Structure 1
Amino acid sequence: MEEVKVSARSAAFRQAIAAFINERREAKLKGTDDEQSAAKYEYTTWLTDAARRVSQIQAVTHVLKATHPDARGSSLYVTPNELPQHIEIGTHCLGDRYDTDIVGNAAALDVYKFLKLDIEGLRLLDWFQQDDPDLLAALHHDPAIAREWADAFKSLIRGQDSFASHPMAKQIYWCVSGEPTDDAGFHLLQPLFSSSLTHAVHQNIQDARFGESNKLARQARREKAAHDSPCREYLNLVARKLGGTKPQNISQLNSDRGGVNYLLASLPPTWSQDRPRKFLYIDSVMPRFIHYEGVRELVEALCRLLESNPGKTMETRVHRERIEQALGQSLAAFGMEIRHLFQPGWTRDDNCRLPLCEQIWLDPERTELAVSDEHRDEDLAFIEAYEWKNWPNEVAHRFGNWLNGILQKRDLPVGDVEHAHWARQAIIDADWPASMQRRALPSGQGETSHE
């Protein structure tokens, strides 16, 4: 048997391996004198056992158990550069900078930690894959045994001749023939959880939340000071926990994250409110008012009360008045919200078809703007109508028509008297300015008829 000459570099490999094994022994035995257990951590004994146990784990990039912990199918190892390079964000975007995950028997994960040892800037696994002669010499004085162990450790990253799915795995039948009635014209797809991509996203988010650079950027933003780096934030995150109290049963990277897997917000776009799109091209805002918070429920409560034909008791009157007052208050809040939501002068838009009274109600600060040359006549008419102060009554009149129309569709017997009553509620019980309240009509006087 040929002796392998041990170089200084080979000795460095052996020293690093021996140090790792000694750390494992100290962590497991914690100073006990159990000689039988200590013998397991002799250099050759531990490497022999590790080379045997490495078959119980596998290096992967896509993990099946993240879909369901009881799934028993295939996980995959596919480097990002091997994947189709789509324009959409995916695992392929990671390039050469990605983390490998480990699945299999959690009791054998110490073997992976061994293969992750950093020596001269590379993992021990990388040196095994390069068949580094100094590393082989450090493993064992017998080249045959060293080669056997090295081949075993290299098998951590291994291909598969066949693949298996499982009832617990996600599966999609994808039509490839274009004939949905042809049972043979489908491929069965199994989407897999990209652990490498998830880990990259997790690291990015953690750096944005707790990294020193982003902390300084946030502080500069709060203080309205200049800063060289952008301030990164991820809003509306959801943390999905995988593996429960044993995240290592899913995978090694999942365990490193404590089982936390961030989900980014998947929400419809929030449209810019710089132009009041919802209030253009319509003849009145009253149909929009029904969608305001709580209004539909109030209208429905009023309809149910009137349809029940209640007795003329104090209890009935109090119940009805509470609903009516709440509607009037909602109308005031609705108007106030619109006034604060849009920039003054939004009713100048050529596509604004609201009646003048509603324009003044929803855009009163337009009167404080300089008269526009482009809208001179409209601006002067707007200011005159605002100062005349009849527009609150007109808005209340339109509110009464709107509510009467809803009640009539429910076959409730309402007419001019009810209309005038609703109008009075809109003015008196809502949060109108004092100048408007002075023009509120007394009960039974000057009631406005239907349009």
Structure 2
Amino acid sequence: MEDISWQDIRKVIVDFLQQRLTNNANYKSEVTKLDKAKQANDVSAINESQQKINDLVKRFDFETWMEDAATRRISWITIGSHISRGIHPSSPADDVNYFAQNQPVTSNYVSSATPSTLSINCSGNAAALDIFSLLNQFVKDDLTLLQLIIQNHPAILPALSDDEQKAAVYLANLKKAIFNNFDNPKASELNKQLYWPNSQDTYLSGVDNHYRLLIPLYPSSLCHLVYQKVQTRFSDENKKAREQRRIKGIEHQSYFSFHHLAVVKLGGSNPQGVSQLTCNQGGRNFLLPSMPPKFEKSPFPTITKAQETIFTNSMQYFCRFGFRLLFDMVQAPKNNVEERDNRKDAFAVILSLLLKYARHIQKTMPAGWSRDYSLKFNQKLWLDPKRSNLGGEQDFKQKYDKGEWIVELEKDFAFWIQNALVKKFENIQQQFSDPEFMEWRKELSAAVKASQRKKEGIF
């Protein structure tokens, strides 16, 4: 940036004015008339057209244009990243230029500070928007005249005029528009206004000045970036990638697709009355869907850090179909063959769901998760087997490989079944004694051995 001279900046301004003159409709018309008048040798028409051309050339003369632009017409526009008319197109309130203020170094939420570059915006009288166009001209290395003014580059002042006093006035007026140095900042009744408490402790007290009045402005620069991102769906590359997604035998490329978009039109038939960027967007502003996320409840019981066992009422509900068969078996008339078959079916359902739950925990939970939980150690060994591969878990690995924890697991399972039956059948709870307890242990033991033979990895 140090190698930018005032001559470089002056050249950008002069070239811009020359381009404006060349593209001026009246200038083009008069040049055409002058050519025709010369061909017809019409002296009167030649003089008339030449005079009008000279007036236009003088109008776009560097010193003339700069004096008019930087002293009179600059007050017709406001430059900012957050505009008032985005809230209401008739709002006369002031805009704010976020880029001319101190910005946060870090932020935990998306805002205008998140993108590295944003387009600046301008609102006001359309007859002065050419000043904004000049400020957006690039001088060198992607640096615009606007950025150089914000950075207070020393070459700016002499580039604005050969007269130092005039140059100082021009620069002061430009900075006033860019930095929003309002003498009397104003809002409007058309703007939304919020009273925000200054203190959480005293905002209900009767003391004055415990509220701050917030007036949100439309973040047009950030919204313009969103608009540009959404518009990439119509790019040639995106269209090609979308068309080729059904073609087999070629390498597919990723493409953008935005669903459930809403469009807000600002400014009606005159979006330029809102701002320049709004005009560039044809008044359209995209709204991304802000619906709450859809959470799918897991069918598996959760494990809290405080619980000491997985064999809880929640697990019984998860295995409820198996317990229903088990309860029906107890209530049914005694028949040894049917009783044995029904019990087998009930435990098949309970154990299949229990092993499915264990597989889910082992696959979805990270290795070592059980360190922060209060589960019995034998259940930690069962549900967190990957923990044995972590550093500093030699004792855990040794006990896991030894396998004695499975015996304790059988007892927990049998105790769980016994408690469920005792609670369900209080009048015959004496029937659920040690022999039945041993049978229920055997049911889990058989399931463990079957799973190990199949090499399911659950045990």
- What's the TM-score once normalised by structure 2's chain length? 0.53
1:27 maps onto 2:28 in alignment: no
Secondary structure of the corresponding residue to residue 239 of structure 1: strand
> 1:84–1:12: structure 2 CA closer, same or farther, 3 Å change rule?
closer
After the TM superposition, which residues 328-367 of structure 1 pair with which residues of structure 2 at under 5 Å, given as runs?
A: 350=319
Q: Matched residues in 2 for 1:8 and 1:231: separation?
A: 40
1:176-227 C-alpha deviation (Å, 9 max, x unpaired): 44544748333222122111211121121112x1234434543454447786
Q: Matched residues in 2 for 1:161 and 1:268: separation?
A: 43
Secondary structure of the corresponding residue to residue 205 of structure 1: helix
Q: Matched residues in 1 for 2:222 and 2:131: separation?
A: 24
1:40 maps onto 2:59 in alignment: yes
Q: Check the 8 A contact 2:321/2:349 in 1, yes or no.
A: no
Q: Matched residues in 1 for 2:212 and 2:153: separation?
A: 43
Secondary structure of the corresponding residue to residue 160 of structure 1: coil
Q: Check the 8 A contact 2:89/2:274 in 1, yes or no.
A: yes
Shift of residue 64, structure 1, vs aligned partner:
1.0
1:18 maps onto 2:37 in alignment: no
After the TM superposition, which residues 73-222 of structure 1 pair with which residues of structure 2 at under 5 Å, given as runs?
A: 73-79=93-99, 82-83=103-104, 85-94=106-115, 96-121=116-141, 122-129=143-150, 136-158=157-179, 159-160=181-182, 162-177=184-199, 178=201, 179-180=203-204, 182=206, 184=208, 185-207=210-232, 209-222=233-246
1:282-327 C-alpha deviation (Å, 9 max, x unpaired): xxxxxxxxxxxxxxxxxxxxxxxxxxxxxxxxxxxxxxxxxxxxxx
Q: Check the 8 A contact 1:59/1:100 in 2, yes or no.
A: yes
Secondary structure of the corresponding residue to residue 286 of structure 2: strand
Secondary structure of the corresponding residue to residue 187 of structure 1: strand
Secondary structure of the corresponding residue to residue 92 of structure 1: coil
Query: What amino acid is aligned across from residue 202 of structure 1 in structure 2?
Result: Y
Q: Check the 8 A contact 2:136/2:146 in 1, yes or no.
A: yes
Shift of residue 111, structure 1, vs aligned partner:
0.6
Q: Which residue is equivalent to 2:397?
A: none
1:250 maps onto 2:274 in alignment: yes
> 1:147–1:228: structure 2 CA closer, same or farther, 3 Å change rule?
farther
Shift of residue 48, structure 1, vs aligned partner:
1.4
- Aligned-CA RMSD value: 4.0
Q: Matched residues in 2 for 1:93 and 1:105: separation?
A: 30
Q: Which residue is equivalent to 2:361?
A: none
Q: Matched residues in 2 for 1:103 and 1:61: separation?
A: 10
Q: Which residue is equivalent to 1:50?
A: 69
Shift of residue 239, structure 1, vs aligned partner:
1.0
> 1:266–1:137: structure 2 CA closer, same or farther, 3 Å change rule?
closer
Q: Identity of counterpart residues, as a percentage?
A: 29
> 1:10–1:171: structure 2 CA closer, same or farther, 3 Å change rule?
closer
Shift of residue 133, structure 1, vs aligned partner:
6.0
Shift of residue 155, structure 1, vs aligned partner:
3.2
Q: Check the 8 A contact 1:55/1:155 in 2, yes or no.
A: no
Q: Name the stretch that deviates more: 184-193 or 251-260.
A: 184-193
Q: Matched residues in 1 for 2:58 and 2:257: separation?
A: 52
> 1:84–1:245: structure 2 CA closer, same or farther, 3 Å change rule?
farther
Shift of residue 349, structure 1, vs aligned partner:
7.0
After the TM superposition, which residues 291-440 of structure 1 pair with which residues of structure 2 at under 5 Å, given as runs?
A: 350=319, 374-375=348-349
Query: What amino acid is aligned across from residue 125 of structure 1 in structure 2?
Result: L
Shift of residue 110, structure 1, vs aligned partner:
0.6
Q: Which residue is equivalent to 2:39?
A: none
Q: Matched residues in 2 for 1:352 and 1:67: separation?
A: 58
Q: Name the stretch that deviates more: 121-130 or 46-55.
A: 121-130
Q: Which residue is equivalent to 1:66?
A: 86
> 1:11–1:73: structure 2 CA closer, same or farther, 3 Å change rule?
closer
Secondary structure of the corresponding residue to residue 91 of structure 1: coil
Query: What amino acid is aligned across from residue 66 of structure 1 in structure 2?
Result: G
- What's the TM-score once normalised by structure 1's chain length? 0.54
Secondary structure of the corresponding residue to residue 153 of structure 1: helix
Secondary structure of the corresponding residue to residue 59 of structure 1: strand
Secondary structure of the corresponding residue to residue 178 of structure 2: coil
> 1:162–1:134: structure 2 CA closer, same or farther, 3 Å change rule?
closer
> 1:10–1:175: structure 2 CA closer, same or farther, 3 Å change rule?
closer
1:92-137 C-alpha deviation (Å, 9 max, x unpaired): 212x412211122222111110111112232123344556566555
Structure number having the greater helix percentage: 2
1:259-287 C-alpha deviation (Å, 9 max, x unpaired): 111101122334559979xxxxxxxxxxx
Q: Greater CA radius of gyration, 1 or 2?
A: 2
Q: Which runs of 5+ in 2 are unaligned?
A: 31-48, 301-316, 326-344, 353-459
Q: Check the 8 A contact 1:205/1:234 in 2, yes or no.
A: yes
> 1:175–1:153: structure 2 CA closer, same or farther, 3 Å change rule?
closer
Shift of residue 65, structure 1, vs aligned partner:
1.0
Query: What amino acid is aligned across from residue 204 of structure 1 in structure 2?
Result: K
- The alignment covers a number of residue pairs equal to 286
> 1:351–1:217: structure 2 CA closer, same or farther, 3 Å change rule?
farther
Query: What amino acid is aligned across from residue 171 of structure 1 in structure 2?
Result: Q
Q: Matched residues in 1 for 2:253 and 2:102: separation?
A: 30
